[in-house]
Copies of this chain bind each other. A is one copy, B any other.
Amino acid sequence: MHILVLGAAGMVGRKLVERLVRDGRLGKRDITRMTLQDVVASQPPKTSIPVKVVTSDFADPGTAAPLVAERPDVIFHLAAIVSGEAEAEFDKGYRINLDGTRHLIDAIRAVGDDYKPRLVFTSSIAVFGAPFPDKIGDEFLSAPLTSYGTQKAICELLISDYTRKGMFDGVSIRLPTICVRPGAPNKAASGFFSNIIREPLAGKEAVLPVSEDVMHWHATPRSAVGFLIHAATMDTAAMGPRRALSMPGLAATVGEQIAALERVAGKNVVARIKREPDQTIIGIVSGWPRNFATDRALKLGFTTAEKTFDDIIRIHIEDELGGKFVG
């Protein structure tokens, strides 16, 4: 089968490609071909599978058509600019996160009636805005408080409608905040949730800009890749017309994160977290989801790789640090 990954050079995209290459198959079918698109050049993975790397602007009206003209069986759509950037650059956010997605889905539709690929779209819990119930259930409204969340919510609606009309077979998965996010910080305001784990484990200081009672919804990069694979291979008949799903995750307060870090890595590591309250970040985070009841996703077979925040830290040490950290 032929797989197209849009946004393949991003953090989740790279990890998805690594996993696909390692497995050599998706579900029950062998992968015979991969196309990896991003605005920055993707590093081609080491594999015997034929891989084409395409460097292009996802928002360009001409980008999607030639990619879908080759009729990939599964399309992973991970192309986006992140929340902080979409909030700061209004036009750029709408151009990439909304118009880009419309160009893509219209291009799929234009291929013709007999082409109906599985489209897996990475949405976000940013489609929800405060005030919230204790746990956000599957019937809670999308009332985003950011342009990024608005763009994701709109794409979910489009993907459900195009799917209902038989133009492709779409699934939108709302990823929890990815933790521990590897590599350098990006412009996401949620960066500190990962920074306070990743940096101390690397022997560096990290700034905690909010109080320890802030609760948030997390999943590891390993789980995120698992969600994508499941969304690409599951039987979508059981979903019905509501094609957007909040993914399972783990609710933890910052205090619980820090306690887990101390259990896994010790007091010296935890001492590298510096408390520097930042009113701007405190304000942004106060409007974010804290906890979910993801009954539909669980029933449809989505599972996480972690059961506790200790697991989240251990998975980071295992997958990113070769099992070692600076004690």
Contact = CB atoms under 8 A, between A and B. Distances in A.
* Best-surrounded residue of A90, A133, A138, A157 (most CB of chain B within 10 A): A157
Interface residues of A, number: 23
A158 B150 contact: yes
A43 B158 CA distance: 36
Interface in A96-148: 129, 133, 138-145, 147
A161 B164 CA distance: 26
A157 B156 CA distance: 12
A99 to B, nearest CB: 10
A277 interface: no
Nearest to A99: B102
B142 A139 contact: no
Contacts of A164: 145
A251 interface: no
Contact of A140 (B139, B158, B161): B139
B141 A141 contact: yes
B144 A141 contact: no
A153 interface: yes
A303 to B, nearest CB: 24
A140 B142 contact: no
A144 B129 CA distance: 20
A177 interface: no
Contact of A161 (B144, B157, B158, B161): B144
Nearest to A127: B157
Interface string A161-201: 10011000000000000000000000000000000000000
Contacts of A143: 160, 241-242
6 contacts: A139-B141, A141-B141, A141-B142, A143-B242, A145-B164, A150-B161
Given A144-B161, A150-B161, 10 more contacts: A90-B165, A129-B242, A138-B141, A139-B140, A141-B142, A143-B160, A143-B241, A145-B241, A147-B161, A157-B157
Interface of A: 90, 129, 133, 138-145, 147, 150, 153-154, 157-158, 160-161, 164-165, 241-242
